[in-house]
Amino acid sequence: MAAVDLTTHPGHLARRLQQAHYLLWNTMVSEETTSPQFAVLNALVAEPGLDQRTVGERVGLDRSTIAEVISRLDRRGLLDKVRDPQDGRRFLLRPTDDGLRVHRKLSVRTARMNQVFLAPLSAGEQAVFFDLIQRVADAAEGLRNPADPSVATN
């Protein structure tokens, strides 16, 4: 059997992109705050007071991963958890002052990192790239529940 051309395998290319992102994140953004942690902080800066489930949906993290990310941010003092007065089982999340400072600092660094990451593409190519990976990522969300009839397949 002949070898497979992995340049035609989206999973292989996605893994390579993720490796490049991870390297750039650790060298240009932060070794302490992960990209998913930044995404959670970013969601809470945009919409303070979200609950854990909603934050996970906003940033595309599953239940166990979002729980761990929130736990780590809480231990670092970057977010506050307040019991929801309307549902005592839920916690509402807000960035602390330290969380806001970390978010501001990392926002500048992520902008620089994204410039480096996307440097091989022209502005027009970047727009197409974002459109395409957004469509694939959105469709992939539906794979978590393949029986969901609302999942569109084009």
pLDDT at 146: 55
Strands of the sheet containing 50-51, edge to edge, are: 50-51, 87-95, 79-84
What are the residues whose beta carbons fall under 8 Å from the beta carbon of 100, sequence distance 6 or more?
45
- pTM of the predicted protein model: 0.86
Structure confidence by residue, pLDDT tens digits, 110-147: 999 999 999 999 999 999 999 999 999 888 877 766 55
β-strand 87-95 against 79-84: which pairing, if any? antiparallel
H or E, element range at 81: strand 79-84
Structure confidence by residue, pLDDT tens digits, 1-33: 999 999 999 999 999 999 999 999 999 999 999
Rounded Cα distance, 132 and 25, in Å? 22
Q: Decide if pLDDT at 149 tops 70.
A: no
In this prediction, residue 151 has a pLDDT band, given cuts at 50, 70 and 90, of very low
Number of other CB atoms surrounding residue 67 within 10 Å: 14
In sign, the C-alpha dihedral spanning 114, 94, 100, 46 is positive
> Is CATH 1.10.10.10 correct for 33-140?
yes
Rounded Cα distance, 109 and 41, in Å? 15
